[in-house]
Structure 1
Amino acid sequence: MTALVIAEHDNASLKGATFNTVTAATQMGGDVHVLIAGHNAQAAADAAAKIAGVSKVILAEAPGFEHGLAENVAAQVLAIAGSYSHLVFPATASGKNIAPRVAAKLDVGQVSDITKVVSADTFERPIYAGNAIATVQATDAVKVITVRGTGFDAAAHEGGSAAIEKAEAAATSDKATFVGSEIAKNDRPELTAAKVIVSGGRALGSSEKFNEVLTPLADKLGAALGASRAAVDAGYAPNDWQVGQTGKIVAPQLYVAAGISGAIQHLAGMKDSKVIVAINKDPEAPIFSVADYGLEADLFNAVPELVKAL
């Protein structure tokens, strides 16, 4: 058995979710290969070759792979899929876009968002917003899997010495072309990779208060800023800050939730955090059920006092 990890990268470097996905793949038994489908992506391939546990890196280069269009990357995966028992993707926006196309073309079922590898064909995945864990057995000859990064530790970035093999690029699609991208520039850590996250909820009342109260705390802690869906829907925070079932799944070392009641959808996105601190004036708020430390207080008083103490 050999697993193929479809790396997420920007041609120059690997995205963090790739390392967690490699860890999951190594637990499926057999060798682990990594596919780098990109353009001028030798640097990303070199980085993949150094990952502990990887035995081979396959580098496929073509202009159509430069921006990771799902149609083109899926075609490349399908071109080499016959050599593999497992096709493993990170459960990111990119992985979720490519994996279903591959599964459909192979006419196999997809096992999504796994958090544990029980055996080579059996996996655990959360259902009902993480309130239940399903054990799923995949009986297809080729298993298409997406991996929830927070369920696995990242593989070591150094220590591997995999061979890099160049593969012929698959024909790219003319049905989709890359037009452009608008990337929000932020001096803070990326939400899904941050070790500390400060999140705010609807109780903050406005975008001005959101920034006025939480930004100083985030600055003190070197943290990324997050938000509940209610805060995002109310316009207090941008969409890419949303944490939860319909936002980003995070598991930082420290998660500070200020004015977040703890709806089930939000808890699904952050309850794997190592230490959770909740600040809420409602003693019955569900967030306290998952918090390691809870402070029953008005956040408009408590957060500035915390900033002063830090």
Structure 2
Amino acid sequence: MSDTLVLLDHTAAGALRTPVRELVTLARSLGGAVTAAWAVDGAEPGAQTLAELGALGVTQVYRLTSDADLHAPAVLAEGVAGLLEATGARTLLATSSFENKEVAAHLAVTTGAGVVTDADTLERVDGTLVAGKTVFAGTWSTRCAVRAPLAVVLVKANSVVATDAEAPVEPQVTEHAFTASPSASRVRVVERTERPATGRPDLGSATIVVTGGRGTEGDFTPLEELADVLGAAVGATRVATDEGWIGHDAQIGQTGITVSPRLYIGAGVSGAVHHRGGMQASGTIVAINSDPDAPIFEIADYGIVGDLTTVVPQLTAELRRLKG
């Protein structure tokens, strides 16, 4: 079994993002050693982070450094490609984000790797990696075998239940410095703007998502209150973002973010096909809409026909009561 390299997504403060635990859990199931790459882009892996990785079974952490900006996908892809070659790892796992999809595309071009994005399962069958994913707006489940010698698999958040390894290890930290090529360095990140902190989880990796659509009529306050009680992220349909009711970074759908939370609550969401394509893989879907014929009810596990301005505050109040 070849080793698996996990690309460690982390915050600016140096904390691991939630889906990383799932990636490492999945990597352990493939056999071989689990190693990890940390792009040193201003944040360092601290003692607590290394202890967390050790509990998950990561044996080696490579500090990836460069003379160029690692925020640029082409630069990061070159560094990861060099690390894969140096370590001999034949599988790279990363979270299925916009940034990592661009990194994977560069890796495919430069290394000939087989790339699967938005995977929700991964297993080794007779020595071949086989990834599962949903396509066509979540209506079909497919299995993709990676025939290339190098596999790059981007995994959707909430696809795996994260668990610690049977025996913790102490990860060794190794430096891996590289010089970016002139072609990769042609693109430079000249400015970065941090999103205002809301205290809520990241939309793409949240286990619970509360989403509002046209039915909110621009008032997301009841949904935000419900989200805060549940510890959920807040999302929106394209109509809501186009109207300027909420930022475009909250848009869920084929032209926005694809989410697969364990619980999705849609309030005032009609269920247009382009929105369903971004959330249909959710574990449990709850729909609240005043129109009994809304398409969202066709895929909902639980449906409430009613005015969201009445239903959502009642739901929030009851949850607060149950939580004491």
For residues 231-265 of structure 1, the C-alpha deviation after alignment (integer angstroms, 9 at most, x for no partner) is 21222221111223332333445432111112233
Which letter does structure 2 place at the counterpart of 1:59?
Answer: R
Q: Distance in 2 between matches of 1:72 and 1:270?
A: 32
Please tell me whether the aligned partners of residues 60 and 174 of structure 2 are also in contact (alpha carbons under 8 angstroms): no
Question: Which residue among 22, 31, 34 is the counterpart of 2:33?
Answer: 31
Partner letter of residue 56 of structure 1?
Q
* Maintained 8 Å contact 1:115/1:151: yes
Confirm or deny: 8 A CA contact 1:19 1:157 kept in the other structure. Answer: no
Alpha-carbon spacing, 1:43–1:62, altered in 2? closer, same or farther (3 Å): farther
Tell me what 2:195 maps to.
184
Per-residue displacement from partner, 1:109-166 (whole Å, max 9, x unpaired)?
3122211113242111211111101111111111122111232223449963243232
State the partner residue of 2:322: none
Residue 220 of structure 2 is matched in structure 1 by 210
Counterpart-to-counterpart distance in 2, 1:41 and 1:157:
23
1:151-166 paired onto structure 2 within 5 Å: 151-156=159-164, 160-166=168-174
Distance 1:264 1:294 in 2: 18
Native 8 Å contact 1:226 1:241 kept in 2: yes
Partner of 1:232: 241
Q: Which amino acid aligns with 2:4?
A: A
Closer/same/farther in 2, CA of residues 234 and 110 from structure 1, 3 Å limit? same
Tell me the residue number matched to 1:7: 8
> In structure 1, what is the Cα distance between the partners aligned to 2:3 and 2:237?
40
**Percent of pairs with identical residues:** 31
Counterpart among 165, 182, 185 of residue 174 in structure 1? 185
Distance in 2, matches of 1:113 and 1:224, equals 20
Cα deviation for residue 54 of structure 1 reads 1.9
Name the Cα RMSD after superposition: 2.6
1:52 and 2:56 matched = yes
Counterpart contact for 1:116–1:151, Cα < 8 Å:
yes
Is residue 202–residue 234 contact of structure 1 (8 Å, CA) maintained in 2? no
Counterpart pick for 1:256 among 236, 248, 265: 265
Distance 1:148 1:176, change over 3 A: same
Equivalent position to 2:105, from 100, 123, 140? 100
Q: 2:311: which partner in 1? A: 302
Superposition pairs of residues 48-197 of structure 1, within 5 angstroms: 49-62=53-66, 64=68, 68-82=71-85, 83-119=88-124, 120-156=128-164, 160-172=168-180, 173-190=184-201, 191-197=203-209
- Whether the 8 Å contact between 1:41 and 1:61 is mirrored in structure 2 is no
Deviation at 1:308, TM superposition (A): 4.7
Aligned residues, how many? 306
Would you say 1:266 and 2:257 are equivalent positions? no
Q: Is the 8 A contact 1:124 1:135 kept in 2?
A: yes
Please tell me whether the aligned partners of residues 137 and 277 of structure 2 are also in contact (alpha carbons under 8 angstroms): yes
| Cα displacement (A) at 1:170 | 1.0
Distance 1:198 1:127 in 2: 23
Q: Conserved in 1, the CA contact under 8 Å of 2:122 and 2:132?
A: yes
Deviations 1:182-235 (A, max 9, x none): 222132312234443321111222x3x233x43343344443321112221222
Return the TM-score normalized by structure 1.
0.87
**TM-score, L = length of structure 2:** 0.83
Letter in 2 for 1:295: I
| Higher deviation after alignment, 94-103 or 105-114 | 105-114
Q: Structure 1: give runs of 5+ residues left out of the alignment.
A: none
Distance 1:245 1:154, change over 3 A: farther
Provide closer, same or farther for how the CA distance between residues 129 and 86 of structure 1 changes in structure 2, counting only shifts above 3 A: same
In 2, are the aligned partners of 1:280 and 1:296 still within 8 Å (CA)?
A: yes
Corresponding letter in the other structure for 2:236: A
